[in-house]
Structures are given as C-alpha cells and as structure tokens.
Amino acid sequence: MTSEEAQWEKMIAGLRVGDEEVATDFYARYGPLLENLAASHLATGVLRRVGPDDVANSACRTFLRRIQGGQFTIGARDSLWNLLCAITLAKARKKARFHLARKRAVVRDAQPATADDESPVARVPGGGPSPEEAAAFADQFRHLLGRLDDEERQIVLLKLEQRTQEEIAAARAISERTVRRILRRVEERLSDLLASGD
C-alpha cells in the first residue's frame, strides 16, 4: 500500500469514527468543490435566499452522519466524489423546491430586474437537476474516469480535490512537469470524448 493509499484509508477510517480533526480536513478539501457545484445548480432567485455554502455544509453533515452510521461503503476517491455530488445535488434541489413553493416563491420577492436577468422569473423554474440528471452526471463521470489509466485517474482525482501541481507531484512521486503533461493529455482526451459523445 502506498503512502497515498494509507492516507486515504486513514481519512475514511477517521470519518467513520467521527474524528473531528479528520472531518475538518475533509471539509477543507471537499467543501469548496461542493459549494461550486451547488452554486452552479441553484437558480439566481434561489441564490438570493440560499448560500451555496449552506448546501455544501448540509451535504457534508449528511454524509458524515451516514458514514458514521455505517451506511456507506467507500471504495475509492471517485466513488466518494460521485456520492458527495449526488448528495449535494439532492440538497440543492430540495432547497430550490422549498423556495419555489407557492407561498414562499422567490418570484414573489420584490427584486428589480437587472441587466444580467432577462426577467425576475427567467432563471428560477429549473431549480437544479432531477435525480435522473444527477445519476446521469455520476454515470458520465465514472465513464470518463474509466477511460483513463490508473496514473491519469489518480492525478485527475487529486486535481478535483484542488491539490496544486506541486502537491500532486509530491503525492505521486513524479515531477511537476509530468503532472502538467498528464493533465494536458487528459484534458485533450476528455474533450475528444465529450465532443464525440462516446
């Protein structure tokens, strides 16, 4: 087992037993990514009432509570990321439904139209992806990762954790130049896959 794999196992074990320091490190690593995901799936009107950080915090609390309850089996980084995405998207959708409900609807808020909004209602109806869309996203992510070799996959997952190229190089015991080269190659391959729809 590599030192990286050992750290991964240690983190998952710490989360399972409710280690607060491990949970803090976990949120520092994944929280900002989940906030960005939530922000991209909340309509403008909903964002006036709900912060993406609220959604990310709620998703992390749910994950931590359930992993401590033994409800999740986490096999690898990509399975953890898929799970966190699914929880976050479900939370974002729930918040959107709540704030779009008839008596609370954000369209009832008195907000002047801005140059960025076509109308106060224009971006509200979507409210985030459906469970089917969230599942499709997770499937596509798994499919794309499955097309990469082990080294490429590990580097992509570390990059998704917002590690710097220097940190990735140290974790994988390779040069920063190699990290840059692999990330460039992966970006090109993923672009080709997305363009072809394969």
Report pLDDT digits (tens) over 108-140: 444 444 444 443 333 334 444 555 665 666 666
Categorize the per-residue pLDDT at 161 as very low, low, confident or very high, splitting at 50, 70 and 90.
Answer: confident
Provide the whole-model pTM: 0.53
Question: Could you identify the residue written with the tokens 């991964």?
Answer: 8
pLDDT for 17: 94
Average pLDDT of every residue of the chain: 74
Q: What are phi and psi of 8, to 5 degrees?
A: -60, -50
The mean per-residue pLDDT over the stretch 93-122 comes to: 50
CB 137 within 8 A of CB 89: yes
Q: Of the ranges 42-46, 109-113, 172-176, which one carries the lowest mean pLDDT score?
A: 109-113
Report the percent of the chain where pLDDT is more than 90.
15
Q: Cβ-count burial of 56 within 10 angstroms (0-12 exposed, 13-18 middle, 19+ buried)?
A: buried
49 pLDDT exceeds 70?
Answer: no
